[in-house]
A and B are shown apart, each in its own frame.
Chain A
Amino acid sequence: MDLSISRFWRKKEIIYKLNGAKCKSCGKVHYPPKNACPYCGSRELELVELPRRGKLISYTTIYAIPEGARHQSPIYYGLIDLGVTKITAELTDIVNANSLKKDMEVEATLRKTQEDRDAGLIYYVLKFRPVLVQK
């Protein structure tokens, strides 16, 4: 899908605040919010801000890069357990592919994803980076 300003504007609460939806009926949380709960079908949903820290469940290093992002090669991408729900997101600040480990702690950070050269726009999203160990 091509990116556009209106798409980002519309989704700003979701992609920048990391807002998920909690179902008032079954209690499950999902991300990004849908029009009804994907688990029970209830339309009684409330937006909840998701934790910005989680653990890596699975991950990959992508070399088959889509157009517009080849200069970012390789792309790191992970399935992250935020406790209340799981999300998938690009991973960033990865030194090398071998440093990725299951259960590694990661946190959300704002990063560039694509540029629209014609319009001179830069699009940002939340990616996840390794949490540095406190000494």
Chain B
Amino acid sequence: MVVYVEGVGMTKIDRHYDYSLKDLAANAAFAAIEQAGGVDGIDYLVFSSSLSSLQDNQLDTASYLATSLGLRGIKALNVEAGEASGLAAISVAKSLLESHQADKVLVIGAEKLNEFVSSKVYKQLQMLYDGDTKSFYNIGFAGDAAILMRLYMDTYNVDRELMSYWPALMHSNAKENPYAMLNFAIKPDKVAKSQILADPITLLDSYPLGDGAAAIVLSNKDMSSSPLAKISAIESSTGYGSIELSEDPLLFDSLSEAFRRISNIADTSNLDFIEIHDSFTITAMIILETLGLANRGKAAELVSTGYFSPGGKGPLANPSGGLKARGHPLGATGVYQIAESSLQVANKFPGVKANNAKKGLVVSLNGLGSSSYVALVEGV
């Protein structure tokens, strides 16, 4: 079944020291509600956040948030799936609409990665990876991705400089996006020279620690008035999420399965744009190859030729600037991706536009693919 996006709201991703999680959530939610024509009919809040319960020492946040937003009485629940939380929340909202448990759902994703010093946040972000092994070590958030990046470059004989075109493309796109945290251009050669987080991953291969919130109002067909877009399908799958367990870590098994599932129920060809989960340069390369948008070991080269750039032959990749440059406030990211994609197909995105865009694919995942979510957003 198809669900409709009635309204979207986003805050600029930034270091929002002056605003709490609820302030940011309210900012995004009120904008989405206004675009959707008011609060009438909204009967469910699905709230997505990864670290906020831990950071704020708060449980049942969705219910407290509902009352805080003046929506006391509606139904509410939290959804948490690590970095994939936002798209998981939208997937749950879609199911609620399809099963007629809800008529109109407000989905809010909010996260603050600047509440504490970075070393504390690195420790919190380590929670994205399998605690069975990782919790006994002090590897932070980039260790596993770094091992994977070196494995990729060794296996396919790809050099560091070729990997740097992706961050440069993301910055170039983000420059036009008023909601992006890093809205400035960089040259590819700057990537390798930036601060090393976990060799070979540098600061510019990684996402900035940002605070942000995004919200969307979703409805089923009966309630829909003048929607921006429709979400034709969402699928997901669990996977190894671990380089040591996976027999082929250079593909994400969960994404491969989720994409196979969505391709069975919807037409995923002729994509005008994609919004993918480029938490690191390496994650972007593996996603492009898992989706079959690039041959194995060739994604970096294809990116460098301009194939995914505005005006390129392929689908436009991350017109928002991606996690890399728009930013990645964990639990909010999937909601940003859907909000941006809805604006793209409505020809209202205030940044790099995919020409005459009718269809886009959104990819969100946690860690190295413990779960993957894919959604197809289309014009109405």
Contacts and interface: CB of A to CB of B under 8 A. Distances in A.
Contacts of A75: 137-140, 143
B147 A58 contact: yes
A78 B136 contact: no
The winner among A61, A67, A102, A113 for most chain B CB atoms within 10 A is A67
A1 B137 CA distance: 10
Contacts of A121: none
The winner among A32, A60, A65 for most chain B CB atoms within 10 A is A60
Contact of B133 (A69, A85, A88): A88
B244 A3 contact: no
Interface in B263-316: none
Interface in A70-98: 70, 72, 75, 77-79, 85-90, 97
Interface in B61-105: none
Nearest to A82: B244
A65 B138 CA distance: 7
A50 to B, nearest CB: 12
A88 B147 contact: yes
A109 interface: no
A59 B150 contact: yes
Nearest to B200: A60
Interface string A33-54: 0100010000000000000000
Nearest to B138: A69
B135 interface: yes
Interface residues of A, number: 39
A86 B244 contact: yes
Contacts of A69: 138
Contacts of B131: 1
A7 B131 CA distance: 12
B136 A15 contact: yes
A120 interface: no
Contact of B123 (A57, A68, A89): A68
Contacts of B201: 60
A86 B240 CA distance: 13
B137 A64 contact: no
B380 interface: no
A55 interface: no
B127 interface: yes
Contacts, number: 119
B371 interface: no
A90 B131 CA distance: 14
Contact of A64 (B117, B141, B150): B141
A125 interface: yes
Contacts of A63: 195-199
Contacts of A66: 119-120, 122-123, 126, 138-141
B151 interface: yes
A77 B150 contact: no
B202 to A, nearest CB: 10
A22 interface: no
Contacts of A31: 133, 244
A62 interface: yes
A43 to B, nearest CB: 17
Contact of B138 (A58, A79, A90): A90
Given A67-B122, A70-B119, A62 B146 contact: yes
A45 to B, nearest CB: 14
B115 interface: no
A113 B135 CA distance: 10
A64 B135 contact: no
Contacts of A32: 132-133
Nearest to B203: A64
A77 B146 CA distance: 9
Contacts of B197: 62-64
The winner among B137, B195, B243 for most chain A CB atoms within 10 A is B137
Contact of B147 (A1, A72, A77): A77
Contacts of B195: 63
Contact of A114 (B138, B141, B200, B244): B138
A77 B147 CA distance: 8
A69 B137 CA distance: 9
Interface of A: 1, 3, 15, 30-32, 34, 38, 57-70, 72, 75, 77-79, 85-90, 97, 102, 113-114, 123, 125
Interface of B: 117-120, 122-123, 126-127, 131-144, 146-148, 150-151, 154, 195-201, 240, 243-245
Cβ-closest 7 pairs across A and B: A69-B138, A60-B146, A66-B123, A1-B135, A64-B197, A58-B151, A66-B122
9 contacts: A32-B132, A60-B142, A62-B142, A62-B197, A66-B119, A75-B137, A75-B138, A75-B139, A78-B147
